[in-house]
Chains A and B, each alone.
Chain A
Amino acid sequence: MSRVQIAFQDNDESRYIVAAIEQDNATAVVHYEPAMIRVENEGSLIIKRDTVSEQIGMEWDVQALHINLITLTGHIDEDDDYFKIMWNN
C-alpha cells in the first residue's frame, strides 16, 4: 500500500480536524512542521463531518476543508458527510 498524505495550516481550526483524523484513522501519523501539520496514512485517510463537528463544537461543513488545506495526495471521494483520499495500490 502507498501512503496518502494531507497537510493543513497550523491553526486553531486545523487542530480539531487533525484530532478528528486521529480519532477515525488509527494508524495515521501526524507531523508538526513549521506553520503546517502534515498527516500520513497507509492506503487511505478519512475525514468525517460528524467527528470534526464534535471536536470543533459546532456544525462543520466538509467543504470548509478548503480554507486551511495546504496539499494532499491520492484520489478524492467527497460527499456531504465525509472526505476521503486513497490510492488504489
Chain B
Amino acid sequence: MDAIANRIPTVLDYLRYATGQDQQFAQASQQPFILRQGQPPAWSDANLHQSAWEQNPELYALCSIASMVPHPQRQRILFQILKASHTSLTPEVRHTLERVSNILLAILPTEQVLTIFLALRRERANHKHTSRAILRYILNHPNLAELAVGRRPTLVDCLEHALGRNVARACAKAETNPTYIQRHLLKWAKDPAQVKEIFPALYQKGKRAKSTSAPEQLTSQFAQRLEPAVPRPTTVTATNRGDISATLVHLYRGGISVELRQALENYVVQAAETLPKFDGKLALVLDASASTRGYGEREFCNISQSVALKLVLKQCCSNLQVYTVGDRNEIPIPSGSTDLAGALLDALESQPDMVAIVSDGYENAYPGDLARVAATLPQAGIQTPVVFCHSKFTKSDDLTWRRPATNLPQLEFWHQDDFEPLMVSLLALADGKASETSLKEYLLRKIGNRELREQGTGNRE
C-alpha cells in the first residue's frame, strides 16, 4: 500500500489489499462493515473500493469471487455494486455485475446482507438494480416467515426503501387493488401466496406470527458456500496433499511404472484446467537444493509439491522460464546448497513480467544475499515484481528460519488446493494488462462453473 500511496489505486492493488498480501493492512481488510444507528456506513477502505470500482468495475466485482477474499470485503463489494449507478456501463459489464451480486447475496450471511440493505437506505441509493436486488432477496428468502418476525422493522425499512414508502404501505392494505400489488410487489416473488400472507403482517405491529428460531439463528443459517467444501486432511501424510505431489512422491521413492508417469500427466492437465491462465512472461526460480529432499516420513514431500506447482505452471503459463537451483531435470533430484540470489539475477536477466521464487526457505549459501539483492532492485531500475512462495509440508510449518527475504511479498502453499489462491495472488502481484485479462477470464469461468453447478443441483448447497 505504501507503493500506491502516491498514485490512484488499481483493481489489482485492491485485490492485494483484500487478500491480505499487504501485511501492514492484513487486519484492516478483515474488519467488519459497520452501520451504527442514524449514521452512514463506516468502512475505512471506502476510497480504495471507490477507486477500484471507477477504474474497472467488472474486474473489481469479480475480485469478490476469488476464494481467499474474506467476507467483510465481499460485503463491501456488494455494497459498492448496489450503491453505484450502472447507467454508463456496457450491457456485458452490467450482466457480470448482476451475476456477481447474485452470488454474493447467496454466500453472505443474511445478517450481513441486511446490514448492506440498511446502508443503501442510509445512502439513499435506489437504482433499479438496487431495488431489484433487495426485493428479490427478501421476498424469496427461505426463512422469510421467521425474518418477518425476528427482523420485522429491518425488513420494513428495506422493503420501503426498495418499493417506496407509499407503494409498500399500499401493498400492505387489504383494500388495495390486487393488480397493483401484483405489479409492484408479487412479481418479484417466486411464491406470491406466501408473500401475500406475510407482507401485510409486517405492518401489524401488535400481531406477531410465531417463530421457531431465534433471530440470530435465522440470520446466520442462510448462507451458501462459494464452492463445494473440500476438506483438508487433519493428519498430513506424504501422499494426501494432492494427487500430483502424491504421484511425484512415489516416483521419487523409486516407482518407475508407466502408470505413474501417465497418471502424473493426467493429474497435471486436470489441475491446470481449473486454474488461471497467464499470458505474460513468468520466471520461476525453483529451489531443488538438498534440503528440499526432507527426511523420514516427509522425505521428498517438499520437492514434490514444488515440482507439482512447476508442472501446473507450465500448463497455465504460455511463457514460463524455469531457473532451477540444483539438479535441472524435469523432476529434479534434490542436491547442492541454496543460492537463491544468483538464480534470481539469472531470472531477471530475461526481463520477465514477474519472478516467483519457490523454495523451502532455507538459504544457506551466502545467507542474506536474497534480501540484499531484493532491496537493491528498485535502485537498479528493476521494477519486475518478485514474489517468494514458501513450499511447506503442512499449514503449520515453523518458518522461523525459513524467511530469507522478508522484504519480498510472501505466499505459502502446502496442498495442491493452495495452487488456486497462490496463482490468483501471483496475478494480482504481477500487475499489468496481461494479469487483469487473465484474472477476468478465470473469475468469469469460475462464476460460470458455479452457475452450472447450481443448475445441476437445482437447490442450495
Indicate whether A and B interact. no
Interface residues of B (CB under 8 A from A): none
